Each structure stands twice: as structure tokens, then as C-alpha cells.
Structure 1
Amino acid sequence: MTWRGSPTGGDPHRFGTEAFYASLGRAFVAMCAVVPVLFLIEALDVGLDANLAGTAGIIPHRIQGLDGVLFSPFLHADFNHLYSNSIPLILLGTFVLAAGTRRFLWSTLVIILVSGLGVWFTGSPNSVVVGASGVIFGYLGILLTRGIVERSWWNFGVVLLVGLLYGWQLIGILPTDERVSWQGHLFGLLGGIAAAIVFRRRRVGLPAPEQTGSPTVPLG
């Protein structure tokens, strides 16, 4: 039997419960399944010489490149590009997904749109932008913001871990001369912050105590 308030079973958002660890494990398995799909897409792109990165990426300021807002996170310039994104995508995505599938899907959509449209409006018209790094920075933004807006010790712990592992990557939101879309990183981070606020878990107040006995009648 599982008693209310015991560390087993219970709330998947509460650190230390069986439901919490089960949710984290399922999220990790799901994110590990996403990466092979990205590798399959890249393999088909290379094997068929389809040049998907060039035809379905974001081309800033051009209408024919607007559809890349939705497609570009699933495409990469080469396998090295994909390798570099795989581990942070799995790690950060696991923590975001563990908080709930619906929140994860909606948050990911917001990040893709904000990051992609930000690149389309501000990027160089002579470039083609592909890659999941905007989504990765979006997940980083979610985790950095969620600990504050949800006031959870667990989320603060995640923020500390993420900060130690990937805090240095925040430099990627600054303008650079390298072949890196800092706009995608910056707007991805902003999209993640917005998603963490909009889709935050509401704190449920304690129920009012039941009244016993006869009601008190005020004296006039």
C-alpha cells in the first residue's frame, strides 16, 4: 500500500517519488529515440544527394525560405554538425520532457517558431540556416526560467546542473563572425523563456479546512 505523502508513487513532479524517476526515465528513452531519426534524415539526405539543407533550410528575408522555420530543426549541414547537437539535445530535452508531454510539445513548437522567425527576420539573406541548436538553446531557456517561475527546489537543481554543463554556451547568443547562427541561439533562448512562463505549472492552493460544529452567529 502506498500512503499519501510517502516517497513512492505519487506526484511525478515531486523529486524522490517513484513517479518522478519513472517520468525522467521515460523522457530519457524518448529523447534517445529522437536522435536516430535525425541521423536517418541526414543519412537519406546524403545517400540520395537530396540537398535538403539547401532547399528546406531557413533563407532569411525570402518567402521561399520561410518554410524552413518548421523544417530546419530536423536538418543539419553534415554529420559532425548533428553529432555536436545530439548530446545536449538528449540531456536538456530529457529534463524538459519529464515535466509533461503536452507542455514539452507546446514549448517545442513555441521555440521552433520564435527561433525560426527570428532568424528569418534578422539573419543574412545570403545564408541558409539549419540545425537543432535553436531548440537546444530554447530548452536551456526553459530550464533556466522554470526554477524561478515555478519556485521548485528540483528545478533550481536542474538550473545549477545545466549552468555548470552548458552555461558557457550562452556566449553563442552573441554576434560572431563564425558560421554559427547566433540569431537562432538568441531567439531560441527567448522562445524557451517565454514557453517556461506561458506553460508554467500552476501551484494548487491547499483546500480550505472543513468547518465542524454549529456556525458562529455574529452578535449585533
Structure 2
Amino acid sequence: MDFDAASRGGDPNRFGTDAFYAALGRAFVAMCAVIPVLFAIEALDVWLAANFDVTVGIIPWDIQGLDGVFFGHFLHDGFDHLYGNSMPLILLGTFVLAAGARRFLFSTLVIMFISGLGVWFTGLPNTVVVGASGVVFGYLGLLLMRGIVERNWWNFAVVLLVGLLNGWQLIGILPTDARISWQGHLFGFLGGIVAAILFRRRRPRHDDPYAPESTLSLP
């Protein structure tokens, strides 16, 4: 048996293997399915005139707006806002999800919590913050740090690609006068870094180059 060929075809965490591309394809389909859900939420908000943004968005320093730390990421200030987040969410989310569904879920929860709580503590009072851009920047930070702690160069390639395509958006982590929650972007990015460290894939300690990598044990 050609063990080298078998290893290339069977390791979903090794760039270039058949399993890697299969995982990437499944992740892309799954992320594409998420976007219609977000559009359905926005359409329902408009149709019912429910004003979900104020009801369950993040309202800094207001206890009633604390539930937005979780729910605010699913809401948007109109369809244009959602359109702007959709493509980077699909692109970055695909590569994050391809590394494992459980790691994706736990990493996303960490990013949402740190981003949302950061906005709640540092945002301007009497404002409402909504949108998935904190998660987008979280995935960006996660892939960047994952490339460092796991020494996977293709993670850097993804971050570089996103930087080339949407480099102007990276200034979103800096304070601006625009109606942009730079706090959500910044804390989302930091949340991604934390998630990459917490849920990193550990390399085997022995010298077998084809041994499967182990992952951090999750509850």
C-alpha cells in the first residue's frame, strides 16, 4: 500500500488532501445555508415592524441590552448592512468550519461573547449595536492566530486573500467617526485570537509524520 498516498487522501487538516477539499466543500455549503437564515430574520423584522434591533440588540451599559451580547450578531441595520457582511462571513466561516464543526461552534460562541461584551462595556450609551461583523473580524483573528499556533500556512493565505479583497475594511478595528462599531470589530478580532489558542489542534509528540493530529478535548 502507498502510505503516502493514503495519508494525502485521508487527513482533512492537511492542505491538498482529498479529505481537506471535501471538508472545505461541505463547510462552504453549510455557510451558504446560514446567510438565508440571516436574511429571513431581517425580512421578518421588516415585515412585522418588530424593531428587533432595539429589542434584542446590544445597548451599551444598559442591563436590558445585555441579551444583545448573543442575539445582536444575528441582526442587521437593513439589507445593505447584511449584504456587506454576507460574503466575508461565507468566505472566512468556510475555512473556520472546515477545521471541525465542534471547534467552529465553540470558537464562534467565544467570539460572540467577547465581541458582544466588549461592545457592551466600551460602546456609547444610548446606542444600539447589531451585526455579524464582529464575528467576521473574529474569524479573521482566529485564522491568523491559528496559522501561528498550529503552523498551518494556508490559514495565512486565507487572511492574505481577505486582506487583498477587503483590505479597506480592516481599518474597522480602529476608532472612526462613521456609524461603525469599531469596538465590535476589535473585540471580535481579539475573541478570534483567544478562540484559536483555546481550541488549537495539538501536534503529536512522536516522530510519525503521518500520525493524525489530536485536538483539545472539549466538553
Q: TM-score, normalised by structure 2?
A: 0.90
* Alignment RMSD (CA, Å): 1.4
Amino acid in the other structure paired with 1:195: A
Aligned CA distance change for structure 1 residues 199 and 26 (closer, same or farther; 3 Å): same
- Alpha-carbon shift at residue 167 of structure 1 (Å): 3.6
Who is 2:41 aligned against?
A: 41
Q: Which runs of 5+ in 1 are unaligned?
A: 209-220
Amino acid in the other structure paired with 2:15: F
Contact 1:147 1:159 in 2 (8 A): no
Q: TM-score, normalised by structure 1?
A: 0.90
Determine the C-alpha separation between the residues in 2 that align with 1:99 and 1:26: 11
Who is 2:117 aligned against?
A: 117
Contact 2:141 2:191 in 1 (8 A): yes
Is 1:129 matched up with 2:129? Answer: yes
- Bigger Rg, which one: 1
Aligned CA distance change for structure 1 residues 178 and 47 (closer, same or farther; 3 Å): same
Determine the C-alpha separation between the residues in 2 that align with 1:66 and 1:120: 7
Q: Which runs of 5+ in 2 are unaligned?
A: 209-219
Who is 1:5 aligned against?
A: 4
Amino acid in the other structure paired with 2:4: G
Structure 1 vs Structure 2: percent identity of aligned residues?
A: 75
Per-residue Cα deviation, 1:31-76 (whole angstroms, up to 9, x for no partner): 0000000000011110011110111100000100000111001001
Determine the C-alpha separation between the residues in 2 that align with 1:124 and 1:157: 36
Determine the C-alpha separation between the residues in 2 that align with 1:158 and 1:177: 29
- Pick the structure with more helix per residue: 2
Determine the C-alpha separation between the residues in 1 that align with 2:138 and 2:33: 20
After TM superposition, the structure 1 stretch with the greater mean CA deviation from structure 2, 90-99 or 3-12, is: 3-12
Who is 1:165 aligned against?
A: 165
Contact 1:141 1:190 in 2 (8 A): yes
Runs of 4+ with deviation above 6 angstroms = none
